[in-house]
Structure 1
Amino acid sequence: MKVIVAGFSKTGTKTLNSALTKLGYTVYDYPENAFILGDDWEKIQKYGWTTADFKRMYENVDVVMDAPCCCFWEEIHKAFPDAKIILSIRDSDEQWLKSLEKQMLSSEGNWAVKLMTYLSPTYRSIMNKTALPTSLIMFGVDDIRAICYKPYNRDLFKLKYRAHNAYVLQNAPPDKLLVYKVTEGWE
């Protein structure tokens, strides 16, 4: 493990994934964590973890990012203490939340996603093993998709985002931390 991206989803993680992949790193983003390590994440989020769990899960991976890894960046760093940490951020919490809302509305308005919810056991398994437990950990809500059709506390979501970033800034080793806005470019 060389890099742990501790930034929340919607902070440029897909662009970072593309850049780090182009640089030759093996990257585990949300899809790899959900599809390949879904059983591990289900166990971790229900019953707990050990440092050995993270060492085993990521022994041949260079970079981890996005949910659920961003919630467990500190524990992953304990397993790989030489890894660098990137805190990817947006210009503001409002900009971040608008991006999250846009993604959720896009997904919920997509007929293929709705169809998968009903017809795909794999999709339901991923939701139950990683997405829904991570939603509870990150935002304190059972299902992040609910922001599309239920009133929700926007201020609480922004507070969770700011609190996460503040925690990383306060607790990551300064000599291993890069605070990064994807708008800065990656060259």
Structure 2
Amino acid sequence: MGLRVVGAGFPRTGTTSLKAALEQLLGAPCYHMREVFGRPDDAAVWRDAYAGVMPDWHRFLDGYAAGVDWPVSWFWREVSAAFPDALVLLSRRESVERWYQSMDQTVLVGARRVMSGDSTRPPTLAHLTPEQAGAMEEMVQALFGGAFEDPNDRDKVIAAYERHLDEVRATVPAHRLLEWQPADGWQPLCAALDLPIPAEPFPHENSTADMRARINDAGGQ
């Protein structure tokens, strides 16, 4: 099995909902940041990829039909080149401000902690070996530091998001690219993948409130 969908959207653009939707549509797993927490040895692979040592994408992502969210979407160029027939899915929020508000209250909380040098391991990662935990922190530092330079600087974070959208739009051929936002639901995805629209409502998961609750339960992660 090869990837049929390569996500190119930043975190907090509906990627958890997309994961659930694509798994339903394609009948196979969708790689997402959550996979890294369930497969902690993957963190070293992503860390090394950021340093330029790419894995065999077909072998590494074997069994997955799609990939969304970081770290897959950070490597959208490399992954989409490895799967040239895959749809490139650029997820985004309805406005830059809404995206930043969501990031600021959720994902960036943990990223700022890691990048500040705080080595406190939250309960959700207590099962990791020291090597796995170290690779996980190095992966986070590489991804967020590389993307935003300074995750505490609102203007730099927003500029990075807008620059990313422009780069994907300018690079991916129109016939391979689908721009999508959460309010779009099933229709654009199903049309692009030539699949029927499911009868059930589109999944809307991992709201800002839900993720904030998990962060609080995890002690700030």
Tell me the TM-score normalised to structure 2 length.
Answer: 0.69
Structure 1 residues 118 and 56: alpha-carbon distance in aligned structure 2, compared to 1, 3 A threshold: closer
Match of 1:7 among 9, 12, 15: 9
1:116 is aligned to 2:118: no
Provide the identity percentage: 29
Task: Calculate the aligned-residue CA RMSD, in Å.
Answer: 2.6
* Corresponding residue of 1:149: none
1:27 is aligned to 2:36: no
Structure 1: distance between partners of 2:60 and 2:125: 30
1:42 is aligned to 2:18: no
Structure 2: distance between partners of 1:116 and 1:8: 26
Structure 1: distance between partners of 2:171 and 2:36: 24
Structure 2: distance between partners of 1:74 and 1:15: 23
* Corresponding residue of 1:133: 142
1:87 is aligned to 2:94: no
Structure 2: distance between partners of 1:8 and 1:170: 16
Structure 1 residues 127 and 76: alpha-carbon distance in aligned structure 2, compared to 1, 3 A threshold: same
1:185 is aligned to 2:185: yes
- The 5 Å alignment of 1:163-174 reads 163-174=163-174
Structure 2: distance between partners of 1:118 and 1:73: 27
Structure 1: distance between partners of 2:49 and 2:37: 13
Shift of 1:60: 2.4
Shift of 1:118: 9.1
Asked whether the 8 Å contact 1:41–1:129 carries over to 2, the reply is no
Counterpart amino acid of 1:127? M
Structure 2: distance between partners of 1:129 and 1:156: 21
Asked whether the 8 Å contact 1:35–1:126 carries over to 2, the reply is no
More helix by share: 1
Partner secondary structure for residue 81 of structure 1: coil
Structure 2: distance between partners of 1:129 and 1:153: 20
Aligned length: 173
Per-residue CA deviations over 1:74-119 (Å, capped at 9, x if unaligned) read 11011111111110011111110000012147769xxxx9643895
Counterpart amino acid of 2:49? I
Structure 2: distance between partners of 1:72 and 1:93: 22
Unaligned runs of at least 5 residues, structure 1:
145-151
